[in-house]
């Protein structure tokens, strides 16, 4: 049975779970130094992601979703609390080992072809060319880019560029994927296609995913659990289990009764937060 439970209870219960915790945020805080003063962006982020679990984070613009991923990736320091990846404390000054990050902004190198963008992480790690090319070809196939290997980013559609970005992250086989609104800039139909593709890729090989979105339908479609962040300074308002069986059809699942019930539960919380934010 699905339940609405505070994040702290969820963590306590899940610590008895057989699966190890992949990511743990415990009382994580973040302040930014802005115009001569500290601005509080995140007050208390407490939630976890179990090994092999897909957790979606949803919340209003500016509530700190990208900041959470930046901290998990180890490229931004926190100002308080504990943050661990597979039991190892995450530092703000060293990229977290075993984590792949698909950032909100497209970061493909414009002067490199799709193939050469995808194999870049392996080049940086010093793998021999033949091995790099073999692995990149597999990724091209996996994300459905066959025939576009030699296209430059400006010759690719928005969806294709997203596929290149995903392949470039998957190629070094991270245990944990951080994804920040990966399909946010695409039109509604293409978003559905990309969601379907991502679920297909994850069916082939289960991974731990922490996925930021502002789209409630997308969060329910994709996730095992949804973390709702309240507006700035952010706290975790709700952690909701998504008890819809897999494999899921990204189109049909939206018309199932359980999807509607979960949508109602989450929308009540999110719309209440939006109204509170407007009154402030």
Ligand X SMILES: Nc1ncnc2c1ncn2[C@@H]1O[C@H](COP(=O)(O)OP(=O)(O)OP(=O)(O)O)[C@@H](O)[C@H]1O
Q: Which residues bind ligand X (CB under 6 A)?
A: 32, 34, 41, 61-67, 104, 214, 232
Q: What angle is formed at CA 171 by the lines to CA 165 and CA 176, rounded to 5 degrees?
A: 85
**C-alpha to C-alpha distance for 118 and 156, rounded to whole angstroms:** 14
**Among the listed residues 50, 66, 96, 176, the single contact to Mg ion using CB under 5 A:** 66
One character per residue 24-63, x = contact with Mg ion (rule: CB under 5 A): ----------------------------------------
Smallest distance, ligand X to C-beta of residue 35, A:
10
Instruction: Tell me how far, at minimum, the Cβ of 99 lies from Mg ion, in Å.
Output: 17
Stretch of 37-45, 47-55, 96-104, 229-237 lying at the interface with Mg ion (CB under 5 A) = 96-104
User: Applying CB under 5 A, does 70 fall inside the site for Mg ion?
Assistant: no
> Which contacts of 242-246 are long-range, i.e. CB under 8 A and separated by 24 or more positions?
242/2, 243/1, 243/2, 244/220, 246/199, 246/203
Least Cβ distance, residue 197 to ligand X (angstroms): 23
Say how many residues touch Mg ion, by CB under 5 A: 3
Any residues with CB less than 8 A from the CB of 207 and at least 6 apart, and which?
52, 174, 175, 176, 177
234 scored as a contact of Mg ion (CB under 5 A): no
Q: How far apart are CA 163 and CA 144, in angstroms?
A: 8
Distance CA 117, CA 251 (A): 31
Q: What's the closest the beta carbon of residue 66 comes to Mg ion, in angstroms?
A: 3
**H or E stretch at 238:** strand 234-241
Cβ closest to Mg ion, residue 58 vs residue 238: 58
Q: Which residues bind Mg ion (CB under 5 A)?
A: 65-66, 104
């Amino acid at each position: 049975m699905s339940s609405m439970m505070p994040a702290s209870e969820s963590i306590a219960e899940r610590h008895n779970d057989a699966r190890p915790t992949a990511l743990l945020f415990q009382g994580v805080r973040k302040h930014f130094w802005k115009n001569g003063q500290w601005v509080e962006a995140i007050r208390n982020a407490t939630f976890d992601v179990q090994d092999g679990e897909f957790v979606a984070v949803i919340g209003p613009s500016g509530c700190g979703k990208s900041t959470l991923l930046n901290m998990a990736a180890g490229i931004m320091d926190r100002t308080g609390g504990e943050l661990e990846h597979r039991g190892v404390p995450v530092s703000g000054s060293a990229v977290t080992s075993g984590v792949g990050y698909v950032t909100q902004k497209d970061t493909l190198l414009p002067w490199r072809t799709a193939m050469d963008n995808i194999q870049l992480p392996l080049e940086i790690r010093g793998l021999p060319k033949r091995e790099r090319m073999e692995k990149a070809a597999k990724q091209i196939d996996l994300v459905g880019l066959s025939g576009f290997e030699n296209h430059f980013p400006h010759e690719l559609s928005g969806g294709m560029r997203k596929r290149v970005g995903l392949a470039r992250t998957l190629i070094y086989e991270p245990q944990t994927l951080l994804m920040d609104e990966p399909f946010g800039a695409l039109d509604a139909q293409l978003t559905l296609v990309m969601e379907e593709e991502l679920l297909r890729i994850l069916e082939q090989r289960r991974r731990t995913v922490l996925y930021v979105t502002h789209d409630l339908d997308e969060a329910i479609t994709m996730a095992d659990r949804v973390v709702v962040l309240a507006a700035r300074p952010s706290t975790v308002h709700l952690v909701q289990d998504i008890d819809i069986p897999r494999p899921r059809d990204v189109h049909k699942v939206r018309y199932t009764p359980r999807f509607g019930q979960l949508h109602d539960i989450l929308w009540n919380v999110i719309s209440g937060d939006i109204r509170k934010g407007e009154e402030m």
